[in-house]
Amino acid sequence: METAVGRVQTQLSPDEALTKLYALLTAKNAPKPGSFTSLNEDQKREYFRLSRRRSRARMRAASSVAATAANINQAFADAALMILATDAPGADQVRKVLQTIFEQRPGVPISVENKAKQGKLKPKLIARSE
């Protein structure tokens, strides 16, 4: 009902008021059509698959490896692996580190060294940078 002063509101019951409030809030917070949260499980799986493909393509196209903590750790692991495989200076220190880490499993350092010398353990990042 309209008056000269303004609009007159009718009194809603508490249940009607809560129902109306709920409808307004769900409409406000509803995901937009096409947004990530509106995708079903198969569509999300496809989204992540394409995202990983794009990310890997960017990594391959990049001229250098990003200086992330994971890549830095991998670079050190590659260096230690090459030192151990070639018995270069510092190989004794690498062996000591392996023995310390795998103290409860004494065969691991020996098998790691043998696999490195046989070429079964290969550096991951060094192949990309050459």
The predicted model scores a pTM of 0.50
Helix boundaries (H) for the chain: 14-29, 41-61, 69-86, 91-101, 107-118, 126-129
Burial annotation 26-50 (CB, 10 A radius, 16+ → b, else e): eeeeeeeeeeeeeeeeeeeeeeeee
CA angle 94–95–100, rounded 5-degree value: 100
Q: Which sequence spans correspond to the domains of the chain?
A: 69-130
Q: What is the pLDDT of residue 71?
A: 85
pLDDT in tens, 48-93: 899 999 988 887 787 677 788 988 898 899 999 999 999 899 999 9
Tokens of 35: 């947004």
In percent, how much of the chain has pLDDT > 70?
85
